[in-house]
Structures are given as structure tokens and as C-alpha cells.
Amino acid sequence: MTDLHPAAREAARTVARILLEIEAVLFRPSDPFILTSGRASPVYIDCRKIIAFPRARRKVIELAAAAVEREIGFESLDAVAGGETAGIPYAAWLAERLELPMLYVRKQPKGFGRGNQIEGAMAPGQRVLLIEDLATDGGSKVNFIKAIRQGEGRVEHALVVFHYGIFPQSVTTLSELGVTLHGLATWWDVLAAAEEAGRLARDDLARVRAFLDNPEGWSASHGGRATA
């Protein structure tokens, strides 16, 4: 975290505290969750809960807009696109904040009518920011990026509210596509906020930290898959 801009560090702390406050984060070290990927995890996050908390979501979008200004540049974008479905509300709020057109990208082309995969109006060559609620290993972003490019849009940046920050492929997968991944907070930020607030017992803190240090190994030893 030492290489982050001070404003980015403060944003990460704020988002982490918000996620804990609205109970979007669950800790269950003794009874691990099995994620969609098949991995076992002592932690689970549901960023979709933010949509139910107006003041929390307003702050998150404010911080997202600041990250765009700081790390991308306001005049470097022509539109904001949300990935179906979790990214759609974030795209709407951020597009409004940045005064940019909003799009959304389906997971697959619509099977009727015009068969659109991108909804909205995207002109050829438009510079599009892809936004979603979170990123684990980055795999789900690839489909959306390819769809935008097939529609003749340009996408060089993806922004998420929460980046797991423990799977290197989340960055490298997108980097290989020429896309930079930006995240407001990671599991390390949430763990630090939880420790500061006394949300976890010492033993549970140690279990969660062990997972963050070696998620694949921890998963394999707790009933989940190990390979990335």
C-alpha cells in the first residue's frame, strides 16, 4: 500500500469502513464459503448491498470519480459502461457524476430484436471506462472488454469498487489485453479496518490473514479448489 497516492490510501480506508458498516463483508473462518470459482474462502463480500444505502453509495461514487480524475483523467473518457448486472447501477451513478454517456454490456448478445450486446449509444472510437462492483481474478472482465472492442469502442481502463487484491492474474489478465485495473479497496484494506474496529478475534484475524497470504493453498486445505 506504500506506493499508493495518499488520496488513494484514504479512499481505500473509507470504502473498507463503509463495507463493514453496511455489513457487505462477512467473515466465517471456521465455516468457509465456497465461491463461484470453486475456491474456499473465510471471507465473502457483497458489493451489491451498497445500492441500498444512498449516503454510502454517494460517497463511493465520489471516491470513484476522484480516482478517475487522479489515475485516468476526466478528459480521457467518452463514456462509462457497466457490466451486466452488478456494474449497471455503478455505471449510471458514475456517468452522471462525470457527465458522460452511460452504456451497459450484456454477458452475451441479446437473443432477439437487434441482438445487441451493448446497450446505449456507442460511437466508433469512443473511449470507454468499464466499471463493475468487484474483481477477483479478472476473468469476467475479459468478455465485456472484448464486446466493447467488437463494437468499435476503445477500452483501456476498468474500475471496480472492490478488488480482491490477492490474485495476481486479476491484473495480468487485463494487462495482457492492454487494460489497467483500478480498484478503490482490497481485502487487505478491509482486514485492517476490521482489526482496527475490533470486528474479529485474534485467531480469526490470523486465519483470514493466512488466506490472503496464500488463497490457493488455503482453499485447497479447506475443501475448495486450488488452481487459478
Mention every residue, 6+ apart, whose C-beta is less than 8 A from residue 184: 11, 12, 15, 60, 63, 64, 67, 160, 161, 162, 163
3-state helix, strand, coil in the chain (%, to 5): 45, 20, 35
Residue 113 has pLDDT above 60, yes or no: no
Say what the pLDDT of residue 192 is. Answer: 96
Say what the pLDDT of residue 152 is. Answer: 96
The strand pair at 43-45 and 25-27 is best described as antiparallel
Say what the pLDDT of residue 1 is. Answer: 44
In CATH, what class is 6-220? alpha beta
Average model confidence (pLDDT) across the chain:
93
Average pLDDT over residues 181-189: 97
Residue 116 has pLDDT above 90, yes or no: no
- CA torsion 130-132-138-144 (nearest 10°) is -50
User: CB burial class (10 A; 0-12, 13-18, 19+) of residue 4?
Assistant: exposed
114 or 81: whose pLDDT is higher? 81
45 phi/psi in degrees, rounded to 5: -130, 140
Asked whether 18 and 184 are in contact (CB, 8 A), the reply is no
User: CB burial class (10 A; 0-12, 13-18, 19+) of residue 194?
Assistant: buried
Average pLDDT over residues 138-159: 95
pLDDT tens figures, 168-180: 998 999 999 999 9
Q: Which residue has the cell 481474478?
A: 137
Count each helix (H run) and each strand (E run) in the chain, helices first. 8, 10
Q: Where are the domains of the chain?
A: 6-220
pLDDT tens figures, 43-96: 999 999 999 999 999 999 999 999 999 999 989 999 999 999 999 999 999 999
Say what the pLDDT of residue 174 is. Answer: 95
pLDDT band at 112 (very low <50, low <70, confident <90, very high): low
CA 118 from centroid of its chain's CA atoms: 20
pLDDT band at 137 (very low <50, low <70, confident <90, very high): confident
pLDDT tens figures, 4-14: 899 999 999 99
Which grid coordinates belong to 73?
483523467
